[in-house]
Amino acid sequence: MFVFLFLLLAHVSWSAPKILCLGDSLTEGYGLETQEAWPTLLEVKLKDSGYSKIEIVNAGVSGAVSASGLSRLRWSLKAKPDLIFIALGANDGLRGLSTAQLERNLDSILEEAVKFLGGSDKVILAGMKLPPNYGMEYSKHFEDVYLKLANKHQVLFVPFLLEGVAGNADLNLSDGIHPNALGHQIIVDHLMPTFLEALKHAQP
């Protein structure tokens, strides 16, 4: 019994769930200090919630499009994450790239992530929406890609990464696209419940 308890306590003490956040400038924290970006803020908040040894790998790259996502994911898997968060496609939309190609790219990324982790409940997909000036038809097709793939792969789904932030001048930098420090705090509050749910299945 003593040995069993020792091993159990050792696991609790030493296990350190690792989260990989694959994204673009919205994940990287464009225009901000590292500690102001939502992945860093999320790590702090999760530690305060009891995951004292959790580690978040910020794999956000400014300007990244979905086409580079699969190769970047495969390289980032060297970190051996226990949970993978995917937030790509915003730059595809801003450039008016093909939604069919976006779907194929994200489909491959999700397939690889689920396969690596051995379960869809350890993968989170964040959706994206576009400003209305891109046209209703294109914007709808773009948004539908995320819901379609979330259902196909049965991953955890956040319909809109920038919920409550997009379009609010007080929560964005002067470019009107990238969240400011306060905006990133709103993102963390929005994402926190989904990460807590995913972490139930993502212990190392």
Q: Where are the domains of the chain?
A: 17-199
Residue 1 confidence (pLDDT): 43
Alpha carbon separation from 156 to 14, 54, 110, 133, 176 (Å, rounded): 27, 20, 11, 29, 28
Bridge partners (DSSP) listed for residue 18? 55
pTM, to two decimals: 0.91
What is the per-residue pLDDT for 117?
97
- What is the dotted CATH code of the domain comprising 17-199? 3.40.50.1110
- Separation of first and last alpha carbons in the chain: 23
* Cα 200 from Cα 46, distance rounded (Å): 13
Mapped onto helix, strand or coil, the DSSP state of residue 18 is strand
Residues classed as catalytic: 25, 175, 178
Residue 204 has a pLDDT of 59
Q: What is the pLDDT of residue 89?
A: 98
pLDDT value of position 15: 57
Neighbours of 164 (CB within 10 A): 13
pLDDT tens, residue order, the chain (204 aa): 444 333 333 444 345 799 999 999 999 999 999 999 999 999 999 999 999 999 999 999 999 999 999 999 999 999 999 999 999 999 999 999 999 999 999 999 999 999 999 999 999 999 999 987 888 999 999 999 999 999 999 999 999 999 999 999 999 999 999 999 999 999 999 999 999 999 998 765
